Structure 1
Amino acid sequence: MTTSNDRPPEVRHSPVMLHRCLELLGPALGAPGAVVVDCTLGLGGHSEALLDGFPSARLIGLDRDPQALRLAGERLARFGDRATLVPAVYDELPDVLARLGVPGVAGVLFDLGVSSMQLDEDERGFSYARDAPLDMRMDQTGGPSAADVLNTYPPGELVRVLRAYGEEKFARKIVEAVVRRRANAPFTTSAELVALIREALPQAAKRTGGNPAKRTFQALRIEVNGELTVLERAMPAAVDALAVGGRIAVLSYHSLEDRLVKRVLAAGAAHTAPPELPVIPEQYQPRLRLLTRGAEQASEEEVQANRRAAPARLRAAERVREAG
């Protein structure tokens, strides 16, 4: 029998808002040798389309997940040396470009959050819909798992994680239940945590908003992988890496990511002159031009075909000036 893990990457993964990403990045990728960086390679769907759509471009693909790098490498092998895949977290972009001798890039793409592969593989523990070990590490070769966080963090720190990263209103109730449970036996599986959350929350909270565990799972995943901390470093680094005329496109999947992306792009698109200056000198002019009005969303047709596109928010900008 064929499982979801046996299917080829192009069947397992539908790249979100693919045509719009290509449309936004495309004007920067026509020159021979233009370099585009896929900071979240995953199964390589966006990267494959970029290489197919812009035959003179070269791609650098980053991912911290060894399995993703292997599968994407198989998918992109037909492009030969036009695709360079690097095991790295996306805030390591400046170091990667320095090692490869690339002074500036024409395009940068981020497709944030958890990948289709990680959601589909039960042993990764990302999904609250299936019982699995509480892992949630994007790179399983090291670092604490979600179970380690639940079983060892002080109560106050757990409350902070659930509130800050899951925007969970009932963080204290959930953590109180976690602390009582872990005093008797450590958490090991996702089903144990889902059951505890269902018991801890008020009835009214369980009747709306989908699975009541989703906010806690999001918070644990972000904490385990340091996602927001990494993104806070990666976004300014990506803007700095763009050559003039280069473009950046970012797909976010929850409000915390989207707010951070919006803040960095909006800051780059604003002038930095003191308010008393009647004329804004060149060195204070914006570095970026926004390419989207707010955050764009997937069409109804795409969401019907791919439910994982539903929460996606896309923002993009173009580099219009060197740093002052």
Structure 2
Amino acid sequence: MSEYHVPVLLEEALEGLAIRPDGTYVDCTFGGGGHSRAILERLGAKGRLIAFDQDEDAARNVPPDERVIFVPQNFRHLARFLRLHGVPEVDGILADLGVSSHQFDEEDRGFSTRSAGDLDMRMDQRQTLTAAQILEQYGEAELHKLFERYGEVTNARTLARKIVEVRKVMPLATIPGFMQAVQGVVKGNPKKYFAQVFQALRIEVNDELGALKVLLEQVPGALVEKGRVAIITFHSLEDRLVKQFFKSGTWEEQEEDTNPYGRQKTASPLEVITRKPVLPSEEEYKRNPRSRSAKLRVAAKK
């Protein structure tokens, strides 16, 4: 497990979940199983863990434990598979939204700027859309919007225009080929620039923000009263979604705030436990630099 992925904010997440030995918990992003194993250590014989992961590599890490149900699907299907397994409500839900170290380190997955492989970036190898296809098929306006919204790339319009120009004369299929082809429009620190570009492509390939919104909408109905949800995010786009939903229970907060008729906002079904996000300690950051941007937020069902 440690070679696959080092779990981030482990103790903080477990504390946030307030685990009961006989409870039922969901790990939405099983990965290397680090968070799941720690949950299992706190569960008794009657406790249960339901683990989701769309990456087929993660299935190899599932422990031989009768208390574990592994679901090889995206967590956007949470409610559906809880029903299929006869679990109407659970005591806690955990989601670590970061890309695993394993995925970054596997060159053929195409997640890392250091890779010499193809521009793939699929979390679920069963889906067809890849990063290379986005670069080849999306129009200039679509690419501009993608890089600006999901990567906060400063010159997103210029980058989009460059991609459209380059792909007329050469394919943009590999990571080194793509980075070399757009080198002339890179602004600022190249490492940071391409990290933002790759983040945008990865989010689009896997519909990460869409899946997160679908998950959050299902959380209140999936939790028992006082049950808890703990979500670890790694960039501001995710964190804003989690913060807003925990606070208001809706995506329409702004519209309701400005309603001229003074319509009352619907009360959130969740109570925020962490008023401010929990960050990794200095010790954890030194031990695992990839934890640097992690933020944990916890809420409980009212």
- 1:6 aligned partner: none
- 1:66 aligned partner: 56
- 1:219 aligned partner: 200
* 1:61 counterpart SS class: strand
Alpha-carbon distance between aligned partners in 2 of 1:263 and 1:229, rounded to the nearest angstrom:
15
Paired letter, 1:14: V
Q: Map of 1:45-60 to 2, 5 A cutoff?
A: 45-55=34-44, 56-60=46-50
Q: Is 1:161 matched up with 2:158? A: no
Q: Is 1:302 matched up with 2:284? A: yes
Alpha-carbon distance between aligned partners in 2 of 1:268 and 1:150, rounded to the nearest angstrom:
35
Q: Is 1:42 matched up with 2:42? A: no
Q: Which of 134, 158, 163 is 2:119 aligned to?
A: 134
- 1:5 aligned partner: none
Question: Unaligned stretches of 5+ in structure 2?
Answer: none
Alpha-carbon distance between aligned partners in 2 of 1:275 and 1:156, rounded to the nearest angstrom:
37
Q: Is the 8 A contact 1:258 1:313 kept in 2?
A: yes
Paired letter, 1:101: G
- 2:229 aligned partner: 248
Question: Shift of residue 113 of structure 1?
Answer: 3.0
- 2:7 aligned partner: 15
- 1:96 aligned partner: 81
Paired letter, 1:167: E
Q: Structure 1 length as normaliser, TM-score?
A: 0.85
Deviations 1:63-106 (A, max 9, x none): 1111112x222xx11x2x20000111111001001101111000
Paired letter, 1:43: G
Question: Shift of residue 268 of structure 1?
Answer: 3.8
Q: Is the 8 A contact 1:173 1:201 kept in 2?
A: no
Question: Shift of residue 198 of structure 1?
Answer: 2.9
* 1:141 counterpart SS class: coil
Q: Is the 8 A contact 1:198 1:206 kept in 2?
A: no
* 1:117 counterpart SS class: helix
Q: Is the 8 A contact 1:197 1:213 kept in 2?
A: no
Q: Which of 220, 223, 234 is 2:215 aligned to?
A: 234
Alpha-carbon distance between aligned partners in 1 of 2:217 and 2:267, rounded to the nearest angstrom:
17
How many residue pairs get matched? 293
Deviations 1:180-233 (A, max 9, x none): 11101111111122223432124xx237xx432111100000000010111111
Q: Structure 2 length as normaliser, TM-score?
A: 0.91
Give the CA RMSD over aligned residues. 2.1
Q: Map of 1:100-115 to 2, 5 A cutoff?
A: 100-115=85-100
Alpha-carbon distance between aligned partners in 2 of 1:104 and 1:31, rounded to the nearest angstrom:
16
* 2:51 counterpart SS class: strand
Paired letter, 2:6: S
Alpha-carbon distance between aligned partners in 1 of 2:201 and 2:154, rounded to the nearest angstrom:
15
- 2:189 aligned partner: 206
Q: Is 1:171 matched up with 2:160? A: no
Alpha-carbon distance between aligned partners in 1 of 2:124 and 2:241, rounded to the nearest angstrom:
23
Q: Is the 8 A contact 2:75 2:215 kept in 1?
A: yes
Q: Which of 100, 106, 117 is 2:102 aligned to?
A: 117
